Chains A and B, each alone.
Chain A
Amino acid sequence: MIAPFKEIYRYLDLPIRSFRRLGNILLIACHDMGNALIMLASATLYIRTIWKPRARRETAQQLYVTGIKSLGVITVVAFFTGMILALQTGLELRRFGQEVNIGTAVTIVMIREMGPFMTALIIAASVGSAIAAQLGTMAVSEEISALEVMSINPNRFLVMPRLVALAVMMPILTVYTNILGILGGGIVGSTQLGVAFQAYLDNATRYAENKDLYVGLFKAFVFGIIIATVSCYQGLNTTEGAVGVGRATRQTVIISFLMILIVGYMITRLFYI
């Protein structure tokens, strides 16, 4: 090859290699996304078997784990989220003598966005990562293979109960987060901003619409499905021993966070524009 071309080639080498790598990453992402959706569809179809005794017990167990495990953290986070919201908006509103409107501000922000969002982040980090670690450990110690050979479908036996538990628990926990957040805001209002608690509550319920609540809970429901899908998929597809389990756990948290943000935006966009 003549010299100038060689030179050009050298400069192009890095971009070409990067481009190829990016392409590979995208291909793998599409492949994973497709397979994860197939897993989700399969698990959803198996919900019809939920009334069999074993499935019922397993689902109840998962509901309990999901609901109870993060209650402590959720309580603290919800409370402080409401308090911060009240304080920040309150200080601004005070300049216009409108402190009493923190009720509306806190309530709308909590039930539309922060309630589902905060709950989902906590559940993804605690329950999602635990699911990935558990199923990942099962995968690397051949337990998933054993189930497959026995013709016990892991989507029915393992994914379905976790999917149902997260899809049901996320909205319930979100209601809890909302209530605590609004309470937290009220406490800041009455202690720091001189807004009587009763006035705060009146204000809080005056402008918030049912639609806000429903959209928020719908979001929570979708987030639950996202967390279940990502964590189960990552767990079931773990390879390479203990290192792989660590990776599956980390990936679960990162991917769930990203998807919660993106999908959360899309749902808001869909319902409010």
Chain B
Amino acid sequence: MITFDKVTKQLGGKTVLNGISFEVPKGETFVIVGLSGAGKSVTLKHMVQLMRPDSGMIRIGDDIINEARGAELERVRRRFGVLFQSAALLKWLTVFENVALPLRELTKMGEEEIEKTVREKLRLLNMEESMDVFPSDLSGGMQKRVGLARAIVMNPEIILYDEPTSGLDPVTSRLIDKLIEDLRRELGITSVVVTHDLHSALAIGTRIMMIDGGEIVENASPEDFIKSNNETVKRFLESQYITRRGAWEKGMEKHV
């Protein structure tokens, strides 16, 4: 569905992506992990041409997104819903208006239908009560949930999540995990999830890829990922108390 072919990107004189190639299969939940500054957000931005590669090619199905322009670019972008790391809600619009924005701007839907759709998406994320609140009056985690409601309101085929659960409490995090899982299982939606949270990565990912220093160090199924022999991956797993058996040994030992 999404194919990166030898993508290179320099930013501020630094090589952020160093010729990476990978494929996100249709209908899967593809998780990208990596340390802060590894280039995860930059990778996501390339998928919707918020950045263009210095060299290499990015295909979305049969469309080459890094070369698309004008109406063509618009058509490819409409296949996506994006949840940004900072939620990126418009501050002068209420929660309802934020989620309704794409419907109002891009469709011919009547107000009644818009209201129905927006309510439905907000209910999915337990945010229906905050409909008339402005984003600045919400916590970071609540803003993220509204951002997610906006990302799915146009029923996209592909959803990109930049750290959907960071800053969220564990219970709400699992709610988001479940939502991503449901979207895949019931609607066959392809998801790309950037996260630091390995537990959530292992729970929802059908494939996990780790980036470090602009290179792919591992790209495997969750089962194989925790068995990886790569030193960087091992260290990353251990830092979150995950060992080869998939248990949270170090953290648990003390309490058992």
Instruction: Give me the interface of A with B, judged by CB distance under 8 Å.
Output: 54, 138, 141-143, 145-146, 148-152, 157
Instruction: Give me the interface of B with A, judged by CB distance under 8 Å.
Output: 45, 48, 50, 74, 77-78, 80, 82, 84-86, 88-91, 101-102, 104-106, 154
Residue of B nearest to A55 (CB): B105
Residue of B nearest to A61 (CB): B92
Complex: A108 Cα to B89 Cα, angstroms: 49
Complex: A142 Cα to B91 Cα, angstroms: 12
Complex: A120 Cα to B78 Cα, angstroms: 41
Chain A residues contacting B80 (CB-CB under 8 Å) are 149
Q: Closest CB-CB distance, B70 to chain A, in whole Å? A: 11
Closest 7 CB pairs of A and B: A146-B88, A142-B88, A142-B84, A151-B74, A143-B88, A149-B82, A150-B102
Please state if A146 and B104 are interface contacts (CB–CB under 8 Å). no
The total of Cβ contacts below 8 Å across the A-B interface reads 43
Chain B residues contacting A148 (CB-CB under 8 Å) are 50, 77
Please state if B89 and A143 are interface contacts (CB–CB under 8 Å). yes
Please state if A152 and B102 are interface contacts (CB–CB under 8 Å). yes
Q: 23 A-B contacts, Cβ less than 8 Å apart? A: A138-B91, A141-B88, A142-B85, A142-B86, A142-B88, A143-B88, A143-B90, A145-B45, A145-B50, A145-B84, A145-B88, A146-B82, A146-B84, A149-B48, A149-B77, A149-B80, A150-B101, A150-B102, A150-B154, A151-B74, A151-B78, A152-B101, A152-B102
Chain A residues contacting B101 (CB-CB under 8 Å) are 150, 152
Chain A interface mostly: helix
Complex: A209 Cα to B74 Cα, angstroms: 52
The one of A143, A146, A157 that contacts B105, using a Cβ cutoff of 8 Å: A157
Chain A residues contacting B48 (CB-CB under 8 Å) are 149
Complex: A150 Cα to B99 Cα, angstroms: 11
Complex: A146 Cα to B154 Cα, angstroms: 14
Complex: A150 Cα to B78 Cα, angstroms: 7
Please state if B105 and A54 are interface contacts (CB–CB under 8 Å). yes
Complex: A132 Cα to B61 Cα, angstroms: 38
The one of B85, B89, B105 that contacts A150, using a Cβ cutoff of 8 Å: B105
Of B45, B50, B74, B105, most A-chain CB atoms within 10 Å: B105
Residue of A nearest to B90 (CB): A143
Complex: A58 Cα to B243 Cα, angstroms: 55
The one of A138, A146, A152 that contacts B106, using a Cβ cutoff of 8 Å: A152
Q: Closest CB-CB distance, B108 to chain A, in whole Å? A: 12
Complex: A7 Cα to B77 Cα, angstroms: 59
Complex: A65 Cα to B172 Cα, angstroms: 39
Complex: A152 Cα to B90 Cα, angstroms: 13
Please state if B50 and A54 are interface contacts (CB–CB under 8 Å). no
Complex: A142 Cα to B82 Cα, angstroms: 11
Complex: A150 Cα to B104 Cα, angstroms: 12
Instruction: State whether A141 and B86 are in contact (beta carbons under 8 Å apart), knowing that A149-B80, A151-B77 are contacts in the complex.
Output: yes
Residue of A nearest to B160 (CB): A149
Chain B residues contacting A138 (CB-CB under 8 Å) are 90-91
Q: Closest CB-CB distance, B103 to chain A, in whole Å? A: 10
Complex: A144 Cα to B33 Cα, angstroms: 25
Complex: A148 Cα to B84 Cα, angstroms: 12
Q: Closest CB-CB distance, B14 to chain A, in whole Å? A: 15
